[in-house]
Amino acid sequence: MTAVASKCRVCRQPAIIDLPRHNANFCGEHLLQLCRRQVEKAIADHDMLSPDDRVLVAVSGGKDSLAVWDILIDLGYRADGLYLGLGIGDYSDESAGYARRFADERGLILRMLDLRDEHGYDVPTAAQVTHRVPCSACGLSKRHLFDQAAREGGYDVVVTGHNLDDEAAVLFGNTLRWDVQYLARQLPVLPAGDGFPKKVKPLVRLTEREMAAWCIVRGIDYQVEECPMAAGNKHLAYKAALNAIERDSPGSKAAFYLNFVERMAPLLSGAEHSGADGLRPCSVCGSPTTGEICAFCRLKERVAGQPRVPVEVLLSKKRRTATAGGV
Amino acid sequence: MTAVASKCRVCRQPAIIDLPRHNANFCGEHLLQLCRRQVEKAIADHDMLSPDDRVLVAVSGGKDSLAVWDILIDLGYRADGLYLGLGIGDYSDESAGYARRFADERGLILRMLDLRDEHGYDVPTAAQVTHRVPCSACGLSKRHLFDQAAREGGYDVVVTGHNLDDEAAVLFGNTLRWDVQYLARQLPVLPAGDGFPKKVKPLVRLTEREMAAWCIVRGIDYQVEECPMAAGNKHLAYKAALNAIERDSPGSKAAFYLNFVERMAPLLSGAEHSGADGLRPCSVCGSPTTGEICAFCRLKERVAGQPRVPVEVLLSKKRRTATAGGV
């Protein structure tokens, strides 16, 4: 967000941001208005939230989750936060600090869980033991524990801070493989059912850059670093490819995601194959699962109690692999 | 295609090309074998050609159209060529020369048509008069005249040299907009019907680079330059985006296109809306059309006889626009 020698589309005061896809510039106040309205539109278009819902926000300490929490409170929703400590070294410690300060300064309820304290493992150790990318164990753990917390806490809906850039990149990945089952499920709302809470993404009409601007204008301090575990993953390559297209043709990214939701997703309904037919309670934790023991409990059983792998060890291994792969 | 200090996967002789998506290197002979087999597989999988078909190849003088013609003759098909002069300055003159020499050296039948000689216009002039991108008038003219030539010449099928890179880039463009009607029609075969000939793309399993290698190994001289009218178009930006993904994950491009054809296209059948219901003969040329006069005859009526616009004039205008847009 650089100073732009131009005027706000709404009030003609000096602008603080240019948004090529809207072919316009905005001052701080009217950027906030635009963000609020886009969130309201997403909520209304997809029937995401009701005024009486008890909302649980998945909080990472980054710009998106703090912004969506802030916007929902601003719009009058009853929203608590849940932070999950993933054990990714200093990155996790700092992220927790941002989340904690945000909540405390605003008198909001933030519950904090920690993978290692409560389940005996962390993301770097899980990645090392399972020989899979860290994002795999991380995503599985987050989904499971946010679902569980919503169920046990009596929340009606889990909110995540996925923005337009995130959703477009995931959509691009699924489209590159034409993974029809994943495509059919990639919607801004996953309805409740079979013991799973409703999950919604109110930021799907807003970009990373707009969310960063929201935080700056609102004085929200957030974790600016990307997760060190994510470096070099395909998701970032997909974002880069879409960003190149967006630079040439502003609006392409929003059209890609929003036209998918509007035009394509309806043609795929029925292809989801949720597998909900065979769900039963996990014999360890009681969460709905298709097997005897759910994927989270199987991961935990395999990884908990294994010698701890510091994040630096995993990162230096990753760098060696990347270098070898680049030859 | 640089010399690779490695061996052919098949015969262990020195390789001339590495193909990361096959995770292998090939000598000249076995590269040709791979290309032939991929064309045979495309023809068989999609029921493109029968041994008795009379085939008309749309020949541009570039690597793809000369290679597909060469491969079809090599595989024993009866294939004549048709070259259409588009009036794009030296580029068209040189392209015609490559096509002519290829046919003459092999004793093949190549018919040559010229837009200006026979229809009184050329692509640069059409672009200038219609205020549309040159590719628009070019595509319309080629589709119409190849269809007409096939009909009048008694050909069973029109072959074009679209390769995997071309098809993946067009698919990417249609996917970015989720243009469901275009997506539903983007198949390696368009069946005959309503007065239109069958159209097939036997190179959909092979890349640009493989086609260039085919031509080099076979001693085929071809027009290496890209069409000057195409510079800066979106198609090239889509190719660049997919090439970046392919570099990171070899095989992504083939998976993107071939999985679409296999998994997604069947879900879209019925969305084509060919508009064939209301077809009747064009009152000028007799080609099937939904209106009184077909799009080609309307273009010709508007453009033929207008002062000729040299390609250089259009290109310098294009450069000025690009520079202005870059500020």
Alpha-carbon gap: A308 to the closest alpha carbon of chain B (Å): 31
Residues of A within 8 A of B263 (CB-CB) are: 178, 180
- Region A203-229: mean pLDDT is 96
Question: Which residue from B152, B138, B136 is spatially nearest to B286, judged by alpha carbons?
Answer: B152
pLDDT of residue B326: 37
Residues of A within 8 A of B241 (CB-CB) are: 241-242, 244-245
| Substitution target from A178, A247, A259 for chain B, most B beta carbons within 10 A | A178
Look up tokens 């060469």; give the residue: B70
Alpha-carbon gap: B172 to the closest alpha carbon of chain A (Å): 9
Between chains, do A237 and B256 touch, taking CB under 8 Å as contact?
no
Residue A194 binned pLDDT confidence (cut-offs 50, 70, 90) = confident
- Region A262-286: mean pLDDT is 82
pLDDT over threshold 70, residue A190: yes
Tell me the C-alpha distance between A265 and A47, whole Å: 16
pLDDT of residue A154: 96
Q: Which residue of B has its CA nearest to A259?
A: B178
**8 A C-beta contact, residue A71 and residue A34:** no
pLDDT of residue B245: 93
Between chains, do B267 and A263 touch, taking CB under 8 Å as contact?
no
**8 A C-beta contact, residue A317 and residue A231:** no
The answer for A 252-271 residues in CB contact with B (under 8 A) is: 252, 255-256, 259-260, 262-264, 267-268, 271
pLDDT of residue B327: 31
Nearest to B177 among A180, A255, A267 (CB): A255
pLDDT over threshold 70, residue A277: no
DSSP state of A226: P
Q: Is B276 on the interface with A (CB under 8 A)?
A: no
Q: Is A313 on the interface with B (CB under 8 A)?
A: no
Residues of B within 8 A of A6 (CB-CB) are: none
Tell me the C-alpha distance between A175 and A172, whole Å: 5
Share above pLDDT 70 across residues of chain A, in percent, rounded to a whole number: 93
Q: Which residue of B has its CA nearest to A322?
A: B248
E-assigned strand segments in chain B:
17-19, 24-26, 54-59, 78-85, 110-114, 157-159, 189-190, 198-200, 280-281, 288-289
pLDDT of residue A325: 41
CA dist list (Å): B61 to B69, B302, B307: 11, 29, 27
Alpha-carbon gap: A266 to the closest alpha carbon of chain B (Å): 11
Between chains, do A245 and B180 touch, taking CB under 8 Å as contact?
no
**8 A C-beta contact, residue A245 and residue B241:** yes
Between chains, do B180 and A267 touch, taking CB under 8 Å as contact?
yes
Tens digit of each residue's pLDDT (9 = 90 or more) over A72-93: 999 999 999 999 999 999 999 9
The residues, ordered by sequence, that sit 6+ positions from B40 with a Cβ below 8 Å of its Cβ are B75
Nearest to B248 among A177, A237, A244 (CB): A237
pLDDT of residue B16: 95
Tell me the C-alpha distance between B57 and A90, whole Å: 63
pLDDT of residue A115: 95
Nearest to B176 among A180, A255, A262 (CB): A255
Higher-confidence residue of A275 and A120: namely A120
**8 A C-beta contact, residue A192 and residue A198:** yes
Q: A3, exposed or middle or buried, with CB in 10 Å at 0-12, 13-18, 19+?
A: exposed
| Coil, helix or strand at residue B314 | helix
This model of the complex carries an ipTM of 0.84
**8 A C-beta contact, residue A55 and residue A49:** yes
Chain centroid to Cα B41, Å, comes to: 19
pLDDT of residue A50: 97
Mean pLDDT computed over every residue of chain A: 92
pLDDT of residue B272: 67
Between chains, do B176 and A238 touch, taking CB under 8 Å as contact?
no
- Region A120-127: mean pLDDT is 94
pLDDT of residue A264: 93
Residues of B within 8 A of A242 (CB-CB) are: 241
Residues of A within 8 A of B234 (CB-CB) are: 248-249
Q: B76, exposed or middle or buried, with CB in 10 Å at 0-12, 13-18, 19+?
A: exposed
Residue A326 binned pLDDT confidence (cut-offs 50, 70, 90) = very low
Nearest to B178 among A249, A259, A271 (CB): A259
Higher-confidence residue of B269 and A9: namely A9
The residues, ordered by sequence, that sit 6+ positions from B168 with a Cβ below 8 Å of its Cβ are B239, B242, B253, B254, B256, B257
The answer for A 176-235 residues in CB contact with B (under 8 A) is: 176-178, 180, 234
Nearest to A267 among B238, B252, B267 (CB): B267
Phi, psi of B200 (to 5 degrees): -135, 155
Alpha-carbon gap: A57 to the closest alpha carbon of chain B (Å): 31
- Region A296-306: mean pLDDT is 93
Tell me the C-alpha distance between B114 and B87, whole Å: 8
Please state the domain extents for chain B.
1-36, 46-206+239-249+258-318
Nearest to A268 among B175, B242, B267 (CB): B267
Between chains, do A177 and B249 touch, taking CB under 8 Å as contact?
no
Phi, psi of A25 (to 5 degrees): -115, 155
Q: Is B5 on the interface with A (CB under 8 A)?
A: no
Chain centroid to Cα B72, Å, comes to: 15
pLDDT of residue A272: 67
What is the bridge-based pairing of β-strands A189-190 and A198-200? Answer: antiparallel
pLDDT over threshold 70, residue A153: yes
Q: Is A317 on the interface with B (CB under 8 A)?
A: no
Assign residue A69 a region (left: φ > 0; alpha: ψ between -120 and 50; beta: otherwise).
alpha
Residue A146 binned pLDDT confidence (cut-offs 50, 70, 90) = very high
What is chain B's pLDDT, residue by residue, as a tens digit (327 residues)? Answer: 554 469 999 999 999 999 999 999 999 999 999 999 999 999 999 999 999 999 999 999 999 999 999 999 999 999 999 999 999 999 999 999 999 999 999 999 999 999 999 999 999 999 999 999 899 999 999 999 999 999 999 999 999 999 999 999 999 999 999 999 999 989 999 999 888 999 999 999 999 999 999 999 999 999 999 899 887 778 888 999 999 999 989 999 999 999 999 999 999 887 765 556 678 999 999 999 989 999 999 999 999 989 898 888 888 876 666 555 433
Higher-confidence residue of A195 and B108: namely B108
Nearest to B259 among A178, A252, A260 (CB): A178
> Tokens standing for B83?
């070259």
Between chains, do B263 and A180 touch, taking CB under 8 Å as contact?
yes
Q: Does domain A46-206+239-249+258-318 have CATH number 3.40.50.620?
A: yes
Alpha-carbon gap: B271 to the closest alpha carbon of chain A (Å): 10
